[in-house]
Chain A
Amino acid sequence: MTHRPDRTLDVRALARVEGEGAMHVRVRAGAVEQVRLEIYEPPRFFEAFLRGRRYTEPPDITARICGICPVAYQMSACAAIEDACGVQVDGAVADLRRLLYCGEWIESHVLHIYLLHAPDFLGYPSAIDMAKDHRDVVERGLALKKVGNEIMEVVGGRAIHPINVRIGGFYRAPSRQQMTALAAKLRVALDQALDTARWVAGFEFPDFHHDHEMLALSEPGRYAIERGSVVTTGGLAFPVTAFEEHVIEEHIEHSTALHAHLAGRGRYLTGPAARYTLNRAWLSPLARQVADDIGLGERCDNPYRSILVRAVEVVYAVEEALRLIDEYEPPAVPYVDVQPRAATGYGATEAPRGTLFHRYALDADGLITSARIVPPTSQNQASIEEDLRRFVADRLHLSDHQLTHDCEQAIRNYDPCISCATHFLDLTVDRS
């Protein structure tokens, strides 16, 4: 049965990924003919209904694209609108933005490490089943995730879809007292983050490597999160304003997410592994030491080992949050006044899953005349499909059940966010 030359594998609803999508694999004459990640979550038309809205609205509207990474949408939106209006936000307000983003990285990465990805390595169908045998480990994950949530609540007003973000900064700055309480919890969280890195380092990782060009924001002097310019492992470097000259999106029939490629170069990958590979030098000494201790090396091109990178980034985010809180002085005014003008603005930040680009055109009254949002998962979709094609080709001897199971695990390596990309999982393997 496992050596049938023709077969089809179908996963109609991929589990433990963010959002809803499917996978279809068709095998003909013993060779992989087609691999498709089918994003069937309906198109959401955010770019269309942003048109005609005021320049102040994108942070709240686009946050609704994702319940896991709303801060990424808010920060990219703010960056783009402020760019259009000729405003630069720095100082304590910019630091508060980075702190809020650290909260989201912790919350999102810990969710993926403990509840979505680790069960694959330990042989459990779900985190709930894993918790029955590894109660203390899951408790540690929940406690660590909660600290991320609490940063979001203190700085953003609430853990999901923060309400304290506005163009130019924040409606209200947290008090020094709130920050001190948060710091006490973060000091405990740092030990939990270090334990997390040691724990995932003990997993067994299949030997699988890709050769995709990797893309991330980079900011000399520190690990890029809420700002930076674009760099790739192929030596490409350009400012965010030139993103659309280099990143080409196209519609693919089987997906409601657009596929992206680099002009004249082809598919690429963004996300934690890309950030680590391109920006390892800017990690804190502790995070870099942890990366060395758990055997990450200079680059990460094995998607299974992305869980190690997420663990290192959690260490970094907790440490960075502590640093930001330690230096925090509440700003007299928690925002910069932003007046509209007829212009186009560009913004990009590092969402937990990779580079998130926004572009808005405004008229003189501050109404949005066009909007464009390029989320990480749609940028990664072509590379994920190519990896799956190679992955399946090496495993055609497996039963449909085992192959389907392994493909789902492979997809979770990328922590795809289908809801964000909809503009994505269900696996079909067709061998007939």
Chain B
Amino acid sequence: MSAGSVPPGAPRRCVVIGIGNDLRHDDGFGPAVVQLLREEGTVGAEVTLAVTDGEPTGLIDLWTGADVAVVIDAVLSPTDPPGYCHELRCEEAAGLTAATASSHSVSLGSTVQLARALDRLPRVLVVLAVVGRDFGYGPGLSALVASAVPAAARRAVELVTASVDHQLRG
């Protein structure tokens, strides 16, 4: 899971990317975490905070050349409770597929596979996939999902902090 685009000795660069649409209730989880990080100001200038709709070329551009990229997205789960956070490494993220053969939407898994083929993966990629409950129309997260925002923000900060870097390399 190396990114050949990061030159040795270059300054550490991290990115936290919230994927989602804040007008589709819990799909706005990723953007809500990024918003909280912006408000708290707890990450340094070396960390880029970004929100995207998940369009693959835009997503790949955001993490290209990064040492660490943390992607935060809301997911559906038939078994886990709303607000439950799955922490996925690159290989697991590459396995995330959409339940359709259609090209109307390219899954996060396909985007990771494409980035790998293009040698445009970050050196470390972590996906925080939080289980959502309501993906209907309208603003605002459901209560259990909203309560998971601070913990996801804290974990994103930990992940982009050098002190945990060795854990990620493993």
User: Real complex partners, A and B?
Assistant: yes
**A residues lining the B interface (CB < 8 Å):** 13-20, 66-68, 111, 115-116, 127-129, 131-132, 135, 138-139, 142, 145-146, 149, 158-160, 418-419
The contact sample of 21 A-B pairs, CB cut-off 8 A, is: A13-B100, A16-B101, A17-B102, A18-B102, A18-B104, A19-B104, A111-B103, A116-B103, A127-B114, A128-B114, A129-B117, A131-B117, A131-B118, A135-B118, A138-B117, A142-B118, A149-B58, A158-B53, A159-B58, A160-B55, A419-B102
**Known contacts A142-B60, A145-B57, A158-B53: does B117 contact A14 (CB below 8 Å)?**
no
Chain A residues, CB < 8 A from B114:
127-128, 131, 138
Taking Cβ atoms with an 8 Å cutoff, the residues of B that contact A are 53, 55, 57-58, 60-61, 100-105, 110, 113-114, 117-119
20 A-B pairs besides A20-B100, A128-B110, A159-B55 with CB distance below 8 A are A13-B100, A13-B101, A14-B101, A16-B103, A17-B101, A18-B102, A19-B102, A67-B104, A128-B117, A129-B117, A131-B118, A132-B117, A135-B118, A139-B118, A145-B57, A146-B57, A149-B57, A158-B53, A159-B53, A160-B53
Contacts of A16 in B (CB 8 A): 101, 103
Most-contacted residue by chain A among B53, B102, B119 (CB, 10 A): B102
B55 touching A149, Cβ below 8 Å: yes
Asked whether, in the complex, the Cβ of A135 is within 8 Å of the Cβ of B103, the reply is no
Shortest Cβ distance from residue B51 to the other chain A in the assembled complex, whole angstroms = 12
Chain A residue at minimum C-beta to C-beta distance from B117? A131
6 A-B pairs with least C-beta separation = A131-B117, A15-B101, A13-B101, A132-B117, A128-B113, A142-B57
Does B104 lie within 8 Å of A419, measured CB to CB? yes
B53, B113, B117 — most chain A CB neighbours (10 Å): B117
Residues in A neighbouring B101, C-beta threshold 8 A: 13-17, 20
CB neighbours (8 Å) of B100 from chain A are 13, 20
B102 touches A135 (CB 8 A): no
- Assess whether B103 is in contact with A18, with CB atoms less than 8 Å apart: yes
CA distance A237 to B7 in the complex (A): 61
Q: What A residues does B53 contact at CB under 8 A?
A: 158-160
CB-based nearest B residue for A426: B101
CB distance from A414 to the nearest CB of B (A): 14
State how many angstroms separate the Cβ of A122 from the closest Cβ of chain B: 14
Task: State the CA gap A17–B53 with chains docked (Å).
Answer: 21
Checking B58, B104, B117 against A68 with a beta-carbon cut-off of 8 angstroms, the contacting residue is B104
Chain B's closest residue to A68 (CB) is B104
Q: How far is the CA of A159 from the CA of B104 in the complex (A)?
A: 13
Contact among A115, A132, A149, A159 for B103, CB-based, below 8 A: A115
Q: How far is A149 from B53 in the complex, measured between Cα atoms in Å?
A: 12
Compute how far the CA of A418 lies from the CA of B113 in the bound complex, rounded to whole angstroms.
25
Query: Within the complex, what minimum Cβ distance (angstroms) separates A344 from chain B?
Result: 30
Q: Measured between C-beta atoms, what is the minimum distance from B20 to chain A in Å?
A: 13
Provide the bound-state CA to CA distance between A217 and B103, in Å: 27
CB distance from B4 to the nearest CB of A (A): 11
Q: A13 vs B57: C-alpha distance in the bound complex, in angstroms?
A: 25
Inter-chain contacts of A418 with B (CB < 8 A): 102
Chain B residues with Cβ below 8 Å from A128 are 110, 113-114, 117
Neighbouring A residues of B58 by C-beta, 8 Å: 146, 149, 159
Cα A145 to Cα B110 in complex, Å, equals 17
| Shortest distance between the CB of B135 and any CB in chain A (Å) | 15
- On chain B, the residues within 8 Å of A132 by CB distance are 117
Q: For A116, list chain B residues within 8 Å (CB).
A: 103
B91 CB to nearest chain A CB (Å) = 15
Bound-complex Cα distance A115 to B105 (A) = 12
Q: How far is the CB of A305 from chain B (nearest CB, A)?
A: 21
Task: Give chain B residues whose Cβ lies under 8 Å from the Cβ of A18.
Answer: 102-104
Interchain nearest-CB distance for A179 vs B (Å): 21
Give the chain A neighbours of B117 by CB distance below 8 A.
Answer: 128-129, 131-132, 135, 138
Whose C-beta in chain B lies nearest to the C-beta of A67? B104
